Amino acid sequence: MARAKSPKPANAEQPSGEEAPNPVWFKPVMFGFMLLGLAWIIVFYVSGGAWPIADLGPWNILIGFGIAFIGFLMTTRWR
């Protein structure tokens, strides 16, 4: 007597080459970080250093690049 093969379980692992797609919020957050960093730097230059945080002075540029860099790092995980 031959046994019937059981169907594949619903929670079977995906092949290693396939990765799950990103959540819906991923792309807007990624582009949001890049645009926020760019806006931070532009506001700093246009205001003559008075905005966004005057006490930080030139460190505002580093903060802007840091925020944008987070967005660029997120692009490595975008599928």
Average the pLDDT over 9-37 and give the result: 82
Is position 5 within any domain? no
Residue 34 in contact with residue 62, Cβ under 8 Å?
A: no
- Residue 30: the pLDDT is 95
Average the pLDDT over 10-30 and give the result: 78
Average the pLDDT over 29-46 and give the result: 95
Domain of 42 in residue numbering reads as 26-77
Is position 21 within any domain? no
* For helices 59-74 and 26-46, angle between their N-to-C axes, nearest 10 degrees: 160
Is position 56 within any domain? yes
Is position 11 within any domain? no
Q: In total, how many domains does the chain have?
A: 1
- Residue 76: the pLDDT is 92
State the Cα–Cα distance between residues 36 and 28, nearest whole angstrom: 12
Is position 40 within any domain? yes
Is position 8 within any domain? no
Dihedral pair phi/psi, residue 41, rounded to 5°: -70, -45
